[in-house]
């Protein structure tokens, strides 16, 4: 499976918004055990997601500006942990905490 691409700059979000295909954004709080558990659980099952999906990881403690921009651009309420499934610049899935699931991502994609 793919590795995470770190999100550190606002222009990266603009690129995701302008891109074609699927992208997953995982917003993670490095100070939160629930966020760490959600990330581990998602990674354990992410092989159900097609390999062409791009995976992005945001340390929102270090990059609050990028986190705020994600909420603005994709018109979602900020949460942590939070997973967004984006296709062709539109957010198709916004999940947080225990609702974060690789199976649900695959299901929304029709995989």
Q: Where are the domains of the chain?
A: 5-109
> Residue 1: pLDDT band by 50, 70, 90 thresholds?
very low
H/E stretch holding 52 reads none
HEC string of 81-95? Answer: CEEEEEECCEEEEEE
Rg (CA), the chain: 13
Q: What tens digit of pLDDT does each residue of 65-108 get?
A: 999 999 999 999 988 999 999 999 999 999 999 899 999 999 99
Look up the pTM and report it: 0.94
Q: CA-CA distance, 11 to 14, in Å (whole number)?
A: 5
Q: What tens digit of pLDDT does each residue of 34-70 get?
A: 999 999 999 999 999 999 999 999 999 999 999 999 9
The superfamily CATH assigns to domain 5-109 is: Glutaredoxin (3.40.30.10)
Strands 22-28 and 82-87: antiparallel
């Amino acid at each position: 499976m793919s590795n995470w691409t770190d999100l550190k700059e606002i222009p990266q979000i603009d690129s995701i918004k302008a891109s074609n295909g699927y992208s997953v954004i995982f917003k993670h709080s490095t100070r939160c055990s629930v966020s760490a558990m959600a990330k581990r659980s998602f990674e354990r099952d992410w092989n159900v997601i097609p390999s062409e999906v791009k995976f992005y990881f945001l340390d929102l403690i270090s990059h609050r500006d990028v986190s705020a921009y994600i909420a603005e651009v994709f018109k979602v309420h900020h949460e942590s942990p939070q997973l967004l499934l984006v296709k062709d610049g539109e957010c198709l899935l916004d999940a947080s905490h225990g609702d974060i699931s690789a199976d649900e991502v695959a299901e929304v994609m029709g995989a």
